[in-house]
Structure formats: structure tokens, C-alpha cells
């Protein structure tokens, strides 16, 4: 049976042109999550490495990634892809005013390798349906998915300039 990637919809404002009407955009709907223990179990089943060794390597990878980010390094994991740090900051009018105080925080971003990019091109999609009452209307008052108040914290926001 082919796996399909679920999506729902969300109403978003165009922050670049507030005169334009709000529009609905597709929003990825996760089907759950997988933790390090389950990932280690899956890797163990598909390799000759035991669960404890897999967990040990994954935890060591995390530690080494943190150390690399603190040094300003990009972490490239071969064909998997690369992880790198971006900064959030307040804008200023004069370049010399860009100082440590304008930085509001850091985020880790992932740039997938070719194999992962190619796999994403082959996804099949299916509109998420709310259990019991048919299609999800995405209206918070009707039991649909509530819009994420911080789209950068949990999901991808569409680019309103497209």
C-alpha cells in the first residue's frame, strides 16, 4: 500500500500587502513522531548494529553537532544533508549598528541531500479528514486544526510574495 502525506489548510494574511485578501494554503499534517529509541530500533532491524550502539552514536552525534554549531561550523552528514545555524535579529538602518544586541536568537536549519530531495518529489498527497465529522474545515470553532500562532516555530509558511 502506498503511503500518502497528509495535509490540511490554513488561512494566512499576506504580510507584504495587507490590502490583499487572506488566502488558504496547504499545510503539512504530521502523522506522529519518532523518538531516538524507536529510530534506533528501526536502524537495528535493517543493519548489523545493535540498538545500544545506535543510540550511543546518535547521542554522540548530537553532542558533536552542538559543539560544531558553537564554533560556527556547518555540519555536513554526507548524502543526508547539512545542518547550519541562522540568526534572528532586529533590523537597523545603519550597518555599523548591527551588533550583538540586535540578535534575538539562533535556529538550526537543515538542507537535505539529493536522495532526500528526490524522495520528497515522489510524495503522494491526501487531504486530512477529521475523524468522525468528515473533512476538516480548519475553522477553530468547528473542531478543525487551529492556525499556528507562530508559523516559524512549528510549520512552514507559504511565501506570500509568490
Integer angstrom CA distances of residue 85 from 71, 102, 109, 113: 10, 16, 6, 17
- Mean per-residue pLDDT of the chain: 83
Instruction: Say whether pLDDT at 157 is over 60.
Output: no
Q: How many CB atoms lie within 10 A of CB 26?
A: 13
What secondary structure letter does DSSP report for 148?
P
Residue 25 and residue 39 in one domain? no
Sheet containing 23-28: order of strands? 23-28, 5-12, 125-127
Residue 119 and residue 137 in one domain? no
The DSSP bridge pattern shows strands 81-89 and 75-76 to be antiparallel
Per-residue pLDDT reduced to its tens digit, 57-114: 999 999 999 999 999 999 999 999 999 999 999 999 999 999 999 999 999 999 999 9
Per-residue pLDDT reduced to its tens digit, 6-59: 898 899 988 888 888 999 999 888 888 999 999 999 999 999 999 999 999 999
Residue 132 and residue 158 in one domain? yes
Residue 119 and residue 132 in one domain? no
Number of domains present in the structure of the chain = 3
Residue 103 and residue 80 in one domain? yes
Residue 39 and residue 63 in one domain? yes
What's the predicted TM-score (pTM) here? 0.68
Q: Are 147 and 139 in contact (CB under 8 A)?
A: no
Residue 40 and residue 4 in one domain? no
Q: How confident is the model at residue 132 (pLDDT cuts 50, 70, 90)?
A: low
Residue 91 and residue 106 in one domain? yes
For residue 105, which of 154, 63, 153, 64 has the smallest C-alpha distance? 153
Domain containing 55: what range? 34-73
Q: What is the per-residue pLDDT for 136?
A: 45
What are 111's strand-pairing partners? Answer: 82
Q: What is the per-residue pLDDT for 3?
A: 73
Residue 138 and residue 100 in one domain? no
Cell numbers for 46, please give them. Answer: 535493517
Amino acid at each position: 500500500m502506498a503511503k500518502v502525506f497528509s495535509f490540511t489548510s490554513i488561512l494566512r494574511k499576506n504580510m507584504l500587502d495587507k490590502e490583499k485578501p487572506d488566502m488558504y494554503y496547504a499545510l503539512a499534517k504530521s502523522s506522529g513522531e519518532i523518538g531516538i529509541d524507536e529510530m534506533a530500533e528501526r536502524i537495528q532491524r535493517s543493519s548489523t548494529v545493535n540498538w545500544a550502539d545506535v543510540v550511543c552514536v546518535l547521542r554522540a552525534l548530537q553532542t558533536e553537532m552542538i559543539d560544531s554549531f558553537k564554533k560556527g561550523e556547518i555540519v555536513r552528514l554526507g548524502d543526508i544533508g547539512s545542518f547550519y545555524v541562522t540568526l534572528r535579529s532586529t533590523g537597523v538602518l545603519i550597518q555599523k549598528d548591527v551588533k550583538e544586541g540586535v540578535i534575538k536568537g539562533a535556529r538550526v536549519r537543515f538542507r537535505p541531500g539529493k536522495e532526500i530531495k528526490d524522495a520528497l518529489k515522489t510524495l503522494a498527497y491526501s487531504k486530512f479528514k477529521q475523524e468522525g465529522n468528515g473533512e476538516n474545515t480548519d475553522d477553530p470553532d468547528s473542531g478543525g486544526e487551529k492556525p499556528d500562532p507562530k508559523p516559524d516555530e512549528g510549520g512552514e509558511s507559504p511565501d506570500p510574495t509568490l
